[in-house]
Amino acid sequence: MVPEPLDVSKYRAIMTTTDRERISGEVDVSDEKRYQAIHRVRSRIEEIETDVDVLKEHHPELFEELQKAVCDDE
């Protein structure tokens, strides 16, 4: 498997490429490494809660964009 080139202009969201691969099962890793990826993502979700509070208060427009991106039912 050849890794895709890193696009440094693109920011990471909640998961890194490695987290995505490990959680999705795209790569064969130990349960421990999969658990570590899940733990990292959980920690980032907690940080997002703080970001949401800041956006709600100081930039409602950005908050709405985030809400649509996360809560949009497809």
State yes or no: pLDDT of 59 exceeds 90.
Answer: yes
- Give the mean pLDDT of the chain: 87
- The pTM assigned to this predicted structure is 0.70
Q: Which long-range contacts (CB under 8 A, 24 or more apart) does 32-40 make?
A: 40/16
Chain-centroid distance, C-alpha 25: 16
The better pLDDT of the pair 54, 7 is held by 54
Chain-centroid distance, C-alpha 64: 18
